[in-house]
Amino acid sequence: MKSYLKFLSRNKLYTAIEAAGLAVSLAFVIIIGSYVWQQYAVTREHPDRERVYVPGTPEFPALTYGFPGAIGDIPEIESVSRMCNVVVHPAIRGEQTEAESVGVEPEFFEICPEFRFVEGSADVLSAPTNVILSASFANKYSLSMGDVLDISGSSYVVGAILEDLKGTVIKPYDIFLNASVYKDEWQPFDNYGSTVTLLKVRPGTDRKVLYDKLETVCKDVYSSIYGQAFFEHLELSRYDELFFKETDGFFRHGDKGTLRVLSLVGLLLLLSAILNYINLSVALTGKRAKEMAVRQLSGASRGGIIWKYVAESVAFTAVCFAAGLLLAEVFCPAMNALLNNPDIPIKVIWSPGYVFAYIVIILVVGAHCGIFPAMMGGRYKPVDVMKGGYRRRSKMVFSKVFIVLQNALAVILIALAITMEAQMRKTQERPMNCNIENIFFLKDFSGEDDAPLKDALEALPCVRRIGRSSGVPGSINMGQYSTTRDGQDILYKLIRLDSTTFSMFGFEVLEDFHTPQFNSVWFSDKSFTATGFDSDYHDISSTLNIRTKGCEQVAGVFKSFPTNNANIGEEDYAIVSLMRSEDIPFAGLVIETIPDRKAAKTQIMEAYDNYIKGKQIYGNLAFWIDENIAEAWRPARNNMRLVEIFMLLSILIALLGLVAMSTYYADEKSRDIAVRKVFGGTVDTEAWHTIRDYMALVGIACIIGIPVAVYAAQEYLKDFIYRLEGYWWIFVAAVVVTLVFSMLSVLWQTLRAARTNPALELKKE
């Protein structure tokens, strides 16, 4: 080991590049690995996770309030419980508060034993007027057992307190109420998605058998809708599968796609660092060839030499890993700021399981980094090395292969990074095809008549006009199932609005059929085409007659606008039902203001605060429409930035390796340069000769990397609705950047070698 340390001290540039690349890459591998492991750990916190199932629709793991009661005596089911969507704003000592709440039954805590009690037990929910609080909520408001809360005018007693849980599939709640309190608020087999049914099955239950029996129940109780529209089939999710489903509401959601991308980029980052280490180590075997020859002549075996290389590599990796752990601790806060799941933050953990994993990583990476250089260094006989045969035989074939691989990787990653950035800019420039400038949306959930609020807002100097609407561009939650002209199911995203709001949004009208102003429907051009309608035939009398108040005519066609904030997947089909303001249920106020947004929002919210004084608060929505759309892009933008950071690090490590390899390449060529200079070569001709050879390798790398980069970019872009077009320039830019950096990395070392006095160089021989 002493000789190895001496060798490292004599080759500081190589050592610094190897250590920096490996330490940084290991730091981010630790971060990514911890994040992935901690995300998957959420699915394992339930001791009986493989025995708990949740039936639901394909879109959402929930059904209706009456489904648990309709299951009957299916022998495979051991116990059943509900989770009901409940919104309450309790009054504590006369003060209105905000709280996350859910309705459950006592059996819920038997099915989900990860919820542990600090005081009391699940039995308290047998009394409808008892509630269970989380410890944090109880502490926040100084509540204890027996205290009373006012919820919607009724008194509820604190009967038990739960430990605060983090990292669970089920979202954390402040208040648990008895689900039976709300049974009269919903139709038993309507209000889809309002109730989660938790089923705990007996050991050894066959999932297919359970599914078939539950499907039979669905066909019976949901006979009018099962097999079509949003309930095309029953979806049966196991408890540990829920975390990675695309759901909102009752469950936390992990982004499996992000995990896959981060895992892939993390592996590429580590691969780049390992390639650097191996490449430089192989290149430097010549510098230790005489040392190893002396060891073999002194009795060391070839196997012993190999083990020495591997042991040195493992020790070097261990030091880099320790530095990587420190860097991971430093980088974790910044990484958590970029990630979109703050409930489960990344953290470096020192539990026995993690320490064992760290040791395994050190051994695996160290062995892989050391075995190949060891094999290369052991290929030559000691006598040949002592005679100088090692250098004469060295053709740098292996190093050339690695130079090609690293440059190909750089081309691919640079192209992908530019593609992601360009696509994000394209998404942000997505045309709305309607006016959303200086338009504020305010929706109150108090259930009170909002006419006084509308009057107060209209009196404000910052307000130009006010209309009503059930949704706005970029944020439409209401859907209307119908059929196309040829009888196929289709889902429209529906906005119900008044004439003021219609005028305010300024939809770009393509066709106007001059129907009566109200009780007619406007179609977007894409929904109009998808339905199979045309200018001559557009009869909707037998289809769009449920949520659109019996509208029977198409008013016209406008240019499509985004119905949601995402730019990934299939584009939604939009329709607009123009209605009288007083006839729009669940409407919010659409407010056009003066350009001074700060002053306008202040005045609007002051008027709202005056309006809700003394009322039961149920919450509100309040946002500028364009800002709401921009905010919705933040998670995707953060994910992109995260991936770009890893890509740039990988590119940087690869380029650092190229700098080191160019140094070695110049050293290896120094004798040849000296000979050619003796016979008339100049600094310029020798520099060009060496750079030409090196750049030929980069050219081969570009030829290999571009097809891979094109394929990767196409795969990345294919799911975007409004996607980048004509992006050939990205691959040209990636090649140019790679060529420039590669040339700069080799140029200065080549010039140094070309300027060397040939007499001094030939004396070394």
The rounded radius of gyration (Å) of the Cα atoms in the chain is: 34
| 391-427 pLDDT per residue, tens | 444 445 666 777 788 788 888 888 888 888 888 888 8
Q: Is 66 exposed, middle or buried (0-12, 13-18, 19+ CB in 10 A)?
A: middle
* Alpha helix segments (H runs only) across 339-381: 352-377
Average pLDDT over residues 258-264: 74
pLDDT tens-place string over residues 7-29: 667 667 667 777 777 788 788 88
| pLDDT at 465 exceeding the cut of 90 | yes
pTM of the model: 0.68
Contacts of 740 (CB under 8 A, 6+ apart): none
Give the pLDDT confidence score for residue 392 in this predicted structure.
44
Least confident of 20-29, 31-40, 266-275, 683-692: 683-692
pLDDT higher at 627 or 688? 627
Say what the pLDDT of residue 133 is. 93
One-letter amino acid of 46: H
Cα–Cα distance for residue pair 283/662, rounded to 1 Å: 11
Please report, for the chain, how many H helices and E strands are present, in that order: 22, 22
Mean pLDDT of 557-561: 90
| Residue 665: pLDDT band with limits 50, 70, 90 | low
Distance CA(584)–CA(468), nearest Å, equals 8
Q: What is the pLDDT of residue 170?
A: 87
> What is residue 274's predicted lDDT score, i.e. its pLDDT?
76
pLDDT of residue 761 exceeding 60: no
Number of other CB atoms surrounding residue 678 within 10 Å: 12
DSSP-derived secondary structure for 287-336: GGHHHHHHHHHTT--HHHHHHHHHHHHHHHHHHHHHHHHHHHHHHHHHHH
- Tell me the three state secondary structure of residue 59: coil
The model's pLDDT over 565-602, given as tens digits with 9 standing for 90+, comes to: 666 666 678 888 888 888 787 788 999 999 999 999 99
Question: Nearest 5°: phi and psi at 194?
Answer: -80, -20
- CA nearest 624: which of 433, 468, 441? 441
DSSP 242-271: GGGSS--SSB----HHHHHHHHHHHHHHHH
Residue 551 in this model has a pLDDT that exceeds 90:
no
DSSP letter assigned to residue 65: T
Query: Tokens 């890893």 belong to which residue?
Result: 646
Mean pLDDT of 77-106: 85
Mean pLDDT of the chain: 79
Q: Does the structure show a pLDDT above 50 at 174?
A: yes
For residue 680, what pLDDT is reported? 58
DSSP string, 493-562: EEEEE-HHHHHHHT--EEEE----SSSEEEEEHHHHHHHT--SS----TTTS-STTTT--EEEEEE----
Cα separation, 572 vs 588, whole angstroms? 22
3-class DSSP state for residue 378?
coil
Residue 206's pLDDT is what? 93
Token pair for residue 97? Answer: 């508060």
Confidence of residue 77 (pLDDT cuts 50, 70, 90): very high
- 626-641 tens-digit pLDDT: 888 877 777 667 767 7
Q: What is the mean pLDDT of residues 243-265?
A: 75
User: Is the model's pLDDT at 175 over the cut of 80?
Assistant: yes
Q: Which H, E and C letters describe 662-721, residue by residue?
A: HHHHHHHHHHHHHHHHHCCCCHHHHHHHHHHHHHHHHHHHHHHHHHHHHHHHHHHHCCEC
